[in-house]
Structure 1
Amino acid sequence: MNARQRSKRKIFGLSLPQAGLLAAFGVAAFALMGLGGALMIRDSLVGDSLPTLQPTSLLRVAANLAPGPTPFPTAPGGGSGWLGFISDRDGNFEIYVASLDNFATVNLSTDPSWDADPAWAPGLQKIAFASNRDGNFDIWLMNLNGSGQFNLTRSPANDRFPVWSPDGTRIAFQSDYNGNSDIVVVKIFDGVQTNLTNSPTNEFGPAWSPDGSRIAFTSIGSAGGEAFAVNADGSGLVNLTNTLADDLFSAWSPDGSRLTFESDRDGNRELYVAAPDSGGGFGLINLTKDEADDTFSAWSPDGTRIAFTSFRDGNQEIYVMNKDGSEQRRLTDNPAGDWSPSWSPDGQRIAFQSNRDGNQEVYLIRPDGSGLLNLTNNPADDLIYGWQP
């Protein structure tokens, strides 16, 4: 794809082709896929010109983005007092938050449809999420107490997995309006959307660089997967991995100087780190160097450590290592599966997913392995999504 040849669309009054949503059952499913081979993104794909957003629609966007009420207290030392998750405890998947102070849970979405993929807005009292309440999945916004729910994308396609830019002015998400999964960015205050990828392959997992200038993502075609990075305006596309292996799930270091990703280039899934402009491996380091599969990397807020999931003990367990791969240490020890670690903003806790109680629950543990706690503790399935910034 020529990165300068990208499509722009507006969010109201669209007439875009309906297409099947790329099956996405969480990163765990992708991590276990045997994809093999290389990926090429095709050139010379130019998107159509689409209708202009009307002034009345702009006013509606602005009105719904006005600061909303904040029901959640901020934890001492930095807003790590609330954790977002989805749960089917009310008969369908809804968006919840859980308090780390008293373990109370609040259902924010309260709708009979499927609501998922919550993402906290940095610097804005909003949560983005995906909902199929209008017949297909769109990106919605709501206040932190669940009020003011508003359909932002209003597309006949399926839009999923929103991720906020660091300054809270844009959201990257996945959309299938071209018949496959593409990475799209929407500007919150004027509604303009830009398709960053616009290719025949499937792109997923957008991750903003800490300065908001670039987005890393994974691209999977019939031959395999690669990790890419692109400027937030769609220019400067770089294949970061460019191998015959499967390279998936990029995560930025807090200072933006490095990206971790998982790859099977050594015969099993390992965690690697590279410079974001490596274009095929400059400065590439295998961090885990273990015969078992290692997946789901998550940087600590101070950039000194990386939490990850490993199968080296015969099942999925949570590990922590230094950013150079040294001092790898297991935090969990249970015959069930523990995966998908996520650091609290103050670095004092790691949330993770576990089925040790016979269903999906969200657990907390400290980086030294102490303080294990079942946060959700409900017979329904609870799936982790993210911390309050």
Structure 2
Amino acid sequence: MKKRACLMVVLAFLVAASLPAPLEGKTYIDIGSPGFRSLPMAVAEVDPETEGGSCRDPALSGKIAKVLLQDLDISGYFQILPPESYLLESKDLKFHPEGVDFRAWALIGAESLVLYRTRCEGDQVVFEAQLLDVLTSKLLTWKKYRAAISAFRAVAHRFANEIEKELTGIPGVFDTRIAYVSRATGAKELYVMDFDGYGARRVSSLKSICVSPCWSPDGRRLAFTSFFKSHPSVYVLDLAGGSELRRVCGSFYRLCSGAAWSPDGKWIAFSASVEGNSELFRTPWGGGGASERLTNDWGLDVSPSWSPDGNQMVFVSDRAGHPDLYILDVATRQARRLTFEGNYNGDPDWSPRGDWIAFSSRVDGEFQIFRIRPDGTDRTQVTYGPGDAMSPSWSPNGRLLAFSSNQAGNQDIYLVRIDGSGRRRITWESKDDSDPAWSPRPAE
């Protein structure tokens, strides 16, 4: 896996200019429309020599552009036009409002245009970029970022977020992170990486088995299951450090696992063994109350995942004879069966948008990722191909899934769009990487 050095400075994003969109409230890409199509976009560099401030690394501007283009490609919303089709050269380009030849861009089929330029000031990079509507000749957004040169990837991610928000109305997820489990050290430890697989760092050193990480809603902590004290139990790790692991399960000692944080951050759900049977419980985070039992059935109830409003929970139970998904009304404790196809359904994760539940299901002896509506309709297979695909986790915008697969031999982490397109491997270690958990968006 490609790694980057830990940042020694705080990334500072300074907005030098931010002009309001001339067509307020306009959605350029209706991602929910049956007639959705990707938006043709050109991305071009304005000659940096016009601004001075050359960088010691002459390839830095290209590196930033590469990350930006990768982000836009991962989203699936944009059709990036090939540079060889451009009618204008970099030396002839100018920022709006100095004079943009919108007709030249329209002639090659571009409907949106990104212009950017890069310069360096000491050990900092200054990246300036504009997003323009070619068809209306309007400037949509103009941003300027200043950061440590080592943080150039974060600069690209930040502007990619701006593009997606401006054109779809929904913020991008390019500055989010993914927690996962890796055997890189021999033990199964917790790691955190950028959403695209870069910047991986180990966050646990328990020299044991850690599985099923889950983010707190504020992105500051991870709940997870570990066997480091012999029996499985749920713990909470503060990613900022400075505090010991906190055990969540209270009086439940054996077979306590599968933590899920409620959307408001007030509860942690988990499964625990009671008289030899696994049931679901929730316990208040931060103290102030006792754990509450949520299920009481002869079957095994495990793997809870909350609905975005916190009123329901999807979980796995074998009460009908084999593992299936069920939805629990948290207030009434009533459960209804969700899946009726397949003889093994597991790993449920409820979309942050509330419209889908992702899960794994066994097909012809191998597990694949599926999605289904909370009312049980529209069961749709997302992944295909050799090997098992398991442990799906939604991006904060509900448009991408991270999952683990052994398609290449070892377990690795992949991304895929919810329609099954754009499958991309993001970990490349020689040891297994699994159990991805996508973080919430960082606080502004």
Question: How much does 1:311 deviate?
Answer: 0.9
Residue in 2 aligned with 1:106?
Answer: 199
Deviations along 1:302-344, one digit per CA (max 9) or x if unpaired, are: 0110110001443101101111111101111223111111111
8 Å Cα contact 1:304/1:322 also seen in 2: yes
Residue in 2 aligned with 1:314?
Answer: 365
Residue in 1 aligned with 2:344?
Answer: 293
Structure 2 counterpart of 1:214, from 249, 267, 279: 267
Q: 1:234 to 1:245 in 2, by over 3 A?
A: farther
Distance in 1 (CA, whole Å) between partners of 2:404 and 2:229 is: 33
User: Which aligned runs of 4 or more in structure 1 are off by greater than 6 angstroms?
Assistant: 90-94, 158-162, 175-179, 186-190
Structure 2 counterpart of 1:247, from 301, 305, 326: 301
Residue in 2 aligned with 1:303?
Answer: 354
Structure 2 counterpart of 1:166, from 217, 220, 223: 217
Provide the secondary structure at the position in 1 that maps to 2:397: coil
Question: How much does 1:378 deviate?
Answer: 4.9
Q: Percent identity?
A: 33
1:361 maps onto 2:412 in alignment = yes
Deviations along 1:219-257, one digit per CA (max 9) or x if unpaired, are: 025622111112222624322220010010100011111
Residue in 1 aligned with 2:61?
Answer: none
Deviations along 1:283-318, one digit per CA (max 9) or x if unpaired, are: x22111124110000111201101100014431011
Gaps of 5+ in 2: 1-147, 162-170
Q: 1:98 to 1:384 in 2, by over 3 A?
A: farther
Provide the secondary structure at the position in 2 that maps to 1:256: coil
Gaps of 5+ in 1: 1-68, 110-128, 138-157
Question: How much does 1:355 deviate?
Answer: 0.7
Deviations along 1:89-148, one digit per CA (max 9) or x if unpaired, are: 687777362553xxx633424xxxxxxxxxxxxxxxxxxx3213xxx66xxxxxxxxxxx
1:258 maps onto 2:309 in alignment = no
TM-score, structure 2 as length reference? 0.53
Structure 2 counterpart of 1:338, from 381, 389, 402: 389
Name the one with the larger helix percent: 2
Alignment of 1:200-211 (within 5 A): 200-211=253-264
Question: How much does 1:260 deviate?
Answer: 0.5
Provide the secondary structure at the position in 2 that maps to 1:105: coil
Residue in 2 aligned with 1:325?
Answer: 376
Deviations along 1:195-222, one digit per CA (max 9) or x if unpaired, are: 5522343312221111112111010256
Provide the secondary structure at the position in 1 that maps to 2:199: strand
1:131 maps onto 2:205 in alignment = yes
1:238 maps onto 2:332 in alignment = no
Residue in 2 aligned with 1:229?
Answer: 282
Distance in 2 (CA, whole Å) between partners of 1:262 and 1:366 is: 24
8 Å Cα contact 1:83/1:99 also seen in 2: yes
Residue in 2 aligned with 1:65?
Answer: none
Q: 1:91 to 1:310 in 2, by over 3 A?
A: closer
User: Which residue identity lines up with residue 277 of structure 2 in the other structure?
Assistant: G
User: Considering only CA atoms, is the larger Rg found in Structure 1 or Structure 2?
Assistant: 2
Question: How much does 1:164 deviate?
Answer: 4.6
Distance in 1 (CA, whole Å) between partners of 2:230 and 2:319 is: 30
8 Å Cα contact 2:213/2:437 also seen in 1: no
Q: 1:165 to 1:269 in 2, by over 3 A?
A: same
Distance in 1 (CA, whole Å) between partners of 2:255 and 2:309 is: 28
Q: 1:176 to 1:325 in 2, by over 3 A?
A: same
Deviations along 1:341-370, one digit per CA (max 9) or x if unpaired, are: 111112221111111111112122111111
Aligned residue pairs total 273
Deviations along 1:10-35, one digit per CA (max 9) or x if unpaired, are: xxxxxxxxxxxxxxxxxxxxxxxxxx
- Comparing 175-184 with 235-244, greater Cα deviation is found at 175-184
8 Å Cα contact 1:80/1:388 also seen in 2: no
Residue in 1 aligned with 2:173?
Answer: 79
Distance in 1 (CA, whole Å) between partners of 2:184 and 2:223 is: 29
1:97 maps onto 2:193 in alignment = yes
**Which structure ranks higher in relative contact order (CA pairs < 8 Å, sequence separation ≥ 6)?**
1
Provide the secondary structure at the position in 2 that maps to 1:295: strand
Question: How much does 1:385 deviate?
Answer: 2.7
TM-score, structure 1 as length reference? 0.60
Cα RMSD over matched residues?
3.4
Residue in 2 aligned with 1:199?
Answer: 252
Distance in 1 (CA, whole Å) between partners of 2:243 and 2:290 is: 23
